Amino acid sequence: MGFIALAFFIARRVRVMQSTDSAPASQGEPNMNWDQIQGNWKYVSGKVRQKWGKLTDDDLTTIAGRREQFAGILQERYGYAREQVEKSLDDFALELKE
């Protein structure tokens, strides 16, 4: 694995670890973490369908509440940049708790 690939891998892992952190919203983190989203995926997938209508049933099955899969499919279906996907997923997690 080259240095650049390793750097991207580490950065992604850090983001994943941060995204599953259950820190309070007052610290700027989402109220619902991705473990909770994954555990409540049947409920959450309805909300996902409302927000991102281009996603198919197969997409939702593939995602199954996993943030990395969700990010990849959003990039593929909507052409979002990685930063835009990360922000959209963070915003979505915040919306779920409201």
pLDDT in tens, 49-95: 999 999 999 999 999 999 999 999 999 999 999 999 999 999 999 99
pTM: 0.66
DSSP 17-77: HHHT----GGGT--SS-HHHHHHTHHHHHHHHHHH-TT--HHHHHHHTT-HHHHHHHHHHH
Matching residue, tokens 């109220």: 31
CATH number for the domain whose boundaries are 3-22+32-97: 1.10.1470.10
Q: Which among 7, 91, 8, 15 is positioned nearest to 52, based on CA atoms? A: 91
Residue-level pLDDT at 98: 72
Residue with more model confidence, 38 or 5: 38
Please compute the mean of the pLDDT values over residues 38-56 and round it to a whole number. 95
> Residue 83 in 3-state DSSP?
helix
Residue-level pLDDT at 10: 60
* Residue 21 in this model has a pLDDT that exceeds 80: no
